[in-house]
Amino acid sequence: MIYYFIFIFLLGLCIGSFLNCVVYRMELQEDMPKSSSRRKTVSFMRGKSFCPHCKHDLGWQDLIPVFSFLFLKGKCRYCKKNISIQYPLVELLTGLLFLLIFFAIGGPISGWNFLIYFLFLLIIFSFLIIIFIYDLKHYIIPDKVLFPAIGIVFLEQLIFNFRFLNFNPLWAGFGACAFFLFIFLISGGRWMGFGDVKLAFFMGLFLSYPNILAALFLAFFLGAIIGVGLIVFGSKNLKSEIPFGPFLIIGTFIALFYGQEIIQWYMHLII
């Protein structure tokens, strides 16, 4: 059993390192003028990793997740400038998230159904980690990440649900999307970005009803607490923009595994 845990955690560290690369190259591409011929050549699938400061190519010893950061004391081996703490944090977050998913869906790997579902969740939450980081840094939910995630979830639902005429996920997706679209329209985009509208559709399709309700409740609840805390401590004011995507993603993760329990707990409070 311990070997499963170690393997999954190390896999998460490596995937987290790859996700950092994806985020950085997306940022690099967005910083280039749209007319630039180099814009299309920036890809996370090819090319060597390099220091964002001095552009020196990084060797394998510089790319070991977490350990290279610790060994180099958070500085580039070549130019000695600081390496962003984002890199080891994302690697650790991904490793821990993979372990939590493994624990949440139950026990050691046994059977193809478990393995397929486990891999499906690892892929989906890898997409969501990219969205989490990108929205937190740039207040943008990138379509190039969100749309493939929607496509993968749709195919999964089509295979395992729609063939039994269960349209719950689809209606949950449209319902969540309509709710967010209403907020977007009445506020003129001040309260909610259109990226959140599209992310809400993904959440409904992924979680189905009633788990989507728990996810939205958690997202608004956590968003309110963090928002008030930032205002109290002076980091933000009432007119400041706060990305909502990260709260939606946290709500999605919790509701996927504990949505039913949260809804039952809430119903006991109000009845």
pLDDT tens digits, 201-227: 999 999 999 999 999 999 999 999 998
Instruction: Report which of residues 151 and 3 the model is more confident about.
Output: 151
Lowest mean pLDDT among 166-170, 183-187, 215-219, 260-264: 166-170
DSSP symbol at 72: T
Shared domain check, 100 and 16: yes
Shared domain check, 233 and 129: no
Shared domain check, 134 and 2: yes
pLDDT of 32 higher than 80: no
Distance in Å from the first CA to the final CA of the chain: 43
Cα angle value 266/269/271 (rounded, 5°): 105
Residue 141: per-residue pLDDT: 95
Structure tokens at 108: 């050691």
Q: Which of 85, 114, 138 is the last residue of a domain?
A: 138
Rounded Cα–Cα distance for residues 5 and 8 (Å): 5
Q: 3-class SS at 82?
A: strand
Shared domain check, 104 and 233: no
Q: Which residue segment(s) compose the domain that 215 sits in? A: 144-271
Shared domain check, 148 and 132: no
Shared domain check, 81 and 159: no
pLDDT of 14 higher than 70: yes
Most confident segment among 1-5, 27-31, 108-112, 255-259? 255-259
Cβ–Cβ under 8 Å, residues 211 and 259: yes
Residue 9: per-residue pLDDT: 95
| DSSP one-letter string for 85-132 | THHHHHHHHHHHHHHHHHHHH-SS--SHHHHHHHHHHHHHHHHHHHHH
Q: Which of 91, 113, 138 is the last residue of a domain?
A: 138
Structure tokens at 123: 């892929």
pLDDT tens digits, 46-64: 667 788 888 888 887 888 9
CA distances from 246 to 24, 226, 233 (A): 18, 11, 20
Residue 163: per-residue pLDDT: 47
| DSSP one-letter string for 170-208 | HHHHHHHHHHHHHHHHHHTTSSS-HHHHHHHHHHHHHH-
The per-residue pLDDT of the chain, averaged, comes to: 86
Percent pLDDT > 90 in the chain is 53
Number of other residues whose CB lies within 10 A of the CB of residue 135: 23
Lowest mean pLDDT among 17-21, 31-35, 124-128: 31-35
Split into its structural domains, the chain has a count of 2
pLDDT band at 164 (very low <50, low <70, confident <90, very high): very low
Shared domain check, 149 and 134: no
Q: Which of 138, 163, 185 is the last residue of a domain?
A: 138
pLDDT of 130 higher than 80: yes
Rounded Cα–Cα distance for residues 100 and 130 (Å): 18
Output Rg (C-alpha) for the chain, integer angstroms.
20
Shared domain check, 150 and 134: no
